[in-house]
Structures are given as structure tokens and as C-alpha cells.
């Protein structure tokens, strides 16, 4: 069974059609990178999958229609890592991570040993265990992103939705976050969908790449096929392959 199935997904803002009849499915073990130029519809598609904007069509998570799924059940199956998080509150790193377990309980039940074990494991997996007592307002941007990734790991959904998860991180933290997600994906029954502007990252970490252009899917294939020089030139209106080769050639000197 597919983790996520999307049929004829369309999003309109007023008279403007932003996503146009997109259909695709994501299986366990796949990391689907959604890329394309500015205004292609990437973030809008992700927002529709998150149930954050109205849409037509159908989105099924584990065979269930997302529009009729209760929020608590949805939180057990799907999690989001945003581009950046505000840190203007007094929560500690551990308290942020513990929030990932609330979907497993009703208002009257407390945390049990399984919850505590999940939180501890998530802190250790993301290298934030030593920071667990620190207020999130006093840690770096990369550490904060890892703390929210630990929250997702503690939540333990089947599907991660990522909105440019490494775009505001320096190179060391970018590598850490992407490698952590890649490792998380190796467990059975899991899948990842990311919006990604960086084509090099999309090709390096994605198992599939979806190229959007003006709300339409131009390609949905293995990275080397979806990011072919001819397709990139058509979508971006420039010789992307030559530009990337020139950009990185200096590192071969």
C-alpha cells in the first residue's frame, strides 16, 4: 500500500490556478523532492498536503482520505518540519520534543514509559540530548532545527513533510539535518516529501524528484531523469547544467 496517494489535486487562489490536477503516489522508503522555479506551486502543493489550504481532488494517507481524518489521527501519521521556527518562548529543548508525543494521549492520560523512551531516543538520535535542559531561545538556529526534528522523531509518523528544511542552515548543520532524515527514512513504512530549491541537494538525497512548472508536473522520476539538462533548460529558461558545472568546477582545482 502507498503511504500517500494524490489524485487530481488542484488549488486556486481567486482566479489563479496554482496547482493544476496533480496526481502521484509515494511508497515506503521514498524521499520525494518537489522542486521547480519560483511560482511553480511547490509550497502551495505542500500546504494542500498539510490540509492548510482548500483544494479539490483527493489526498489519501495510508488509504484514508485526509480531509475526513481527525486531526489527532493525522498527527499520528504525518509530521511537518518547517523552514524555520520562532524561539521567543521559555520551553526547553526536551519540552519541545515531548510535544511530539501528545497525539498519543487524550486530555486525561499522562505520559508513560514508552513516551519517555521515545523522547530520549529522539534526543539522542538528533544529537540534542546534551541540550535537553537548555531554553530553545538560547540555542543556535541549527540546534533549534534539530530540536524540532527530534520532536518529529518522537512523534514517529509514517510521513514527513519538509518545507526547505535546510535552507537557512550553515553547511555543517545542513549536512546533519539531511543525514538524520535520510537515516530515519531507512526504517520500514516511512516516506518523506520535501520542497527543495537546491537542485544539488534534491539529486543527492531524493529517491525521486518532481519538477513543477506553473502548477503542472513536468517530470516525476528518478533524480537523474527528472533533472536532465534538457528538462532543466526548458523549465528554468537557462542552461542549468552548464551553470551548475561552472559553479562547482572551482572545487576541482
| Residue-range definition of the domain harbouring residue 217 | 1-62+158-253
Per-residue model confidence (pLDDT) at position 206: 96
Q: Is residue 189 part of a domain?
A: yes
Name the nearest CA neighbour of 79 among 50, 51, 108, 44. Answer: 50
Q: How many domains does the chain have?
A: 2
Q: What are phi and psi of 145, to 5 degrees?
A: -65, -40
Given a contact cutoff of 8 angstroms between Cβ atoms, the answer to whether 186 and 118 are in contact is no
Clarify whether residues 101 and 139 are in a common domain: yes
Name the nearest CA neighbour of 105 among 96, 97, 114. Answer: 114
Q: Which of 123, 156, 189 is the last residue of a domain?
A: 156
Tens digit of pLDDT per residue, the chain (253 long)? Answer: 799 999 999 999 998 999 999 999 999 999 999 999 999 999 999 999 999 999 999 999 999 999 999 988 998 899 988 766 666 677 899 999 999 998 887 655 678 888 999 999 999 988 899 999 999 988 888 888 889 989 999 999 999 999 887 766 778 878 888 898 999 999 889 999 999 999 999 999 999 999 999 999 999 999 999 999 999 999 999 999 889 888 888 887 6
Query: What is the distance between the alpha carbons of residues 64 and 62, in angstroms, rounded to a whole number?
Result: 6
SS3 content of the chain, % helix, strand, coil (to 5): 45, 25, 30
Clarify whether residues 213 and 102 are in a common domain: no
Q: Is residue 75 part of a domain?
A: no
Clarify whether residues 165 and 152 are in a common domain: no
125 in helix, strand or coil? helix
Clarify whether residues 54 and 167 are in a common domain: yes
Clarify whether residues 164 and 131 are in a common domain: no
6: domain CATH number is 3.40.50.300
Q: Is residue 118 part of a domain?
A: yes
**Residue matched to cell numbers 523552514:** 83
Clarify whether residues 148 and 191 are in a common domain: no
Q: Which of 156, 179, 198 is the last residue of a domain?
A: 156
H-state helical runs in the chain: 42-49, 71-77, 93-98, 113-125, 141-155, 171-185, 199-205, 223-226, 229-236, 240-249
Clarify whether residues 103 and 221 are in a common domain: no
User: Cell triple for residue 160?
Assistant: 514527513
Neighbouring residues of 188: CB distance < 8 A, sequence distance ≥ 6: 28, 29
Q: Is residue 10 part of a domain?
A: yes
Q: What is the pLDDT of residues 45-86, one digit of tens each?
A: 999 999 999 999 999 999 999 999 998 899 889 998 876 666
Q: Which of 141, 156, 171 is the last residue of a domain?
A: 156
Which pTM was predicted?
0.91
25 in helix, strand or coil? strand
**Residue matched to cell numbers 535537553:** 132
Clarify whether residues 42 and 149 are in a common domain: no
Amino acid at each position: 500500500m502507498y503511504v500517500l496517494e494524490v489524485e487530481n489535486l488542484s488549488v486556486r487562489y481567486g482566479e489563479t490556478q496554482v496547482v493544476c490536477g496533480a496526481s502521484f503516489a509515494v511508497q515506503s522508503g521514498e524521499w520525494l523532492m518537489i522542486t521547480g522555479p519560483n511560482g511553480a506551486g511547490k509550497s502551495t502543493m505542500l500546504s494542500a498536503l498539510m490540509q492548510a489550504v482548500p483544494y479539490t481532488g483527493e489526498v489519501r494517507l495510508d488509504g484514508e482520505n485526509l480531509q475526513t481524518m481527525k486531526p489527532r489521527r493525522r498527527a499520528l501519521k504525518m509530521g511537518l518540519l518547517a523552514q524555520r521556527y520562532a524561539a521567543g518562548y521559555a520551553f526547553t529543548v526536551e519540552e519541545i520534543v515531548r510535544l511530539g508525543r501528545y497525539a498519543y494521549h487524550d486530555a486525561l492520560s499522562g505520559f508513560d514509559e514508552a513516551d519517555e523512551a521515545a523522547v530520549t531516543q529522539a534526543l539522542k538520535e538528533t544529537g540534542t540530548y546534551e541540550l535537553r535542559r537548555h531554553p530553545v531561545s538560547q540555542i543556535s538556529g541549527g540546534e533549534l532545527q534539530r530540536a524540532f526534528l527530534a520532536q518529529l522523531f518522537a512523534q514517529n509518523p509514517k510521513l514527513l513533510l519538509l518545507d526547505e528544511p535546510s535552507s537557512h542552515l550553515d553547511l555543517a548543520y545542513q549536512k546533519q539535518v539531511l543525514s538524520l532524515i535520510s537515516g530515519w527514512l531507512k526504517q520500514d513504512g516511512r516516506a518523506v516529501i520535501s520542497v527543495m530549491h537546491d537542485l544539488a541537494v534534491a539529486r543527492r538525497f531524493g529517491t525521486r524528484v518532481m519538477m513543477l512548472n506553473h502548477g503542472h508536473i513536468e517530470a516525476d522520476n528518478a533524480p537523474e531523469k527528472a533533472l536532465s539538462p534538457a528538462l532543466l533548460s526548458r523549465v528554468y529558461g537557462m542552461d542549468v547544467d552548464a551553470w551548475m558545472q561552472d559553479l562547482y568546477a572551482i572545487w576541482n582545482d
